[in-house]
Chain A
Amino acid sequence: MRVRIWIIGLLLIGFAGPAYADRRTDAKDQVEFGIAVAQRGLWKEATFRWEKAVEIDPGYAAAWNDLGIGYEQLGQFDQARKAYEKAQELDPDNTYIRNNYDLFREIYDRQNRRRDR
Chain B
Amino acid sequence: MTVRTAAAIASLAAGLAMAGCSSFYEIAVETPIQAKIDVSAFQRVLVAGFLTGGAKTIDANTETARLLRSQLRSKQDMRVVDTDALSLVDEFDRRHGTIAKVASGPDAEPRIKTEKDLESYEQIFNDAEYWKQVGADYQGPLIVTGSIMFTEISKSAVVSVPTSSVNEQGMEEYRSTRTYSNMKGYALSPKFVFIDGRTGAQLYSESYHEETLYPSGQNTPALSSYFELMDKILPSFLNTLSSQKIRGSRVLLK
Contacts and interface: CB of A to CB of B under 8 A. Distances in A.
Given A107-B246, A111-B34, A72 B251 contact: no
- Residue among B24, B27, B31, B34 having the largest count of chain A Cβ atoms under 10 Å: B31
Interface residues of A, number: 26
A18 B33 CA distance: 44
A96 B253 contact: yes
Contact of A66 (B30, B34, B206, B252): B252
A62 B29 CA distance: 17
29 contacts: A28-B254, A31-B253, A31-B254, A35-B25, A38-B252, A39-B25, A39-B27, A65-B251, A65-B253, A66-B253, A69-B252, A72-B29, A73-B29, A73-B30, A73-B31, A75-B31, A75-B32, A94-B253, A96-B251, A97-B253, A100-B250, A103-B248, A104-B250, A107-B246, A110-B33, A111-B34, A114-B36, A117-B204, A117-B206
A61 to B, nearest CB: 8
Contacts of B24: 96
B86 to A, nearest CB: 26
Given A103-B248, A107-B246, A111-B33, A32 B27 contact: no
Given A38-B252, A110-B33, 11 more contacts: A31-B254, A35-B25, A65-B253, A69-B27, A72-B29, A73-B30, A75-B31, A75-B32, A96-B24, A111-B33, A117-B36
A100 B249 CA distance: 8
Interface in A44-100: 61-62, 65-66, 69, 72-73, 75, 94, 96-97, 99-100
A117 B202 CA distance: 13
- Residue among B33, B34, B250 having the largest count of chain A Cβ atoms under 10 Å: B250
A43 B7 CA distance: 44
B248 A35 contact: no
A33 B25 CA distance: 13
Contacts of B206: 117
Interface string B223-254: 00000000000000000000000101011111
A114 B243 CA distance: 13
Q: Is the interface of A mostly helix, strand, loop or mixed?
A: helix
A52 to B, nearest CB: 15
Contacts of A73: 29-31
B209 to A, nearest CB: 15
Interface string B147-172: 00000000000000000000000000
A111 B248 CA distance: 16
A103 B250 contact: yes
Nearest to B236: A110
Interface in B1-54: 24-25, 27, 29-34, 36
Contacts of A94: 253
A104 B27 CA distance: 14
A38 B254 CA distance: 13
Nearest to A60: B253
A99 B199 CA distance: 46
Contact of A69 (B36, B246, B250): B250
A19 to B, nearest CB: 20
A1 to B, nearest CB: 37
A110 B244 CA distance: 13
A72 B31 CA distance: 6
Contacts of A117: 36, 204, 206
Interface in B80-97: none
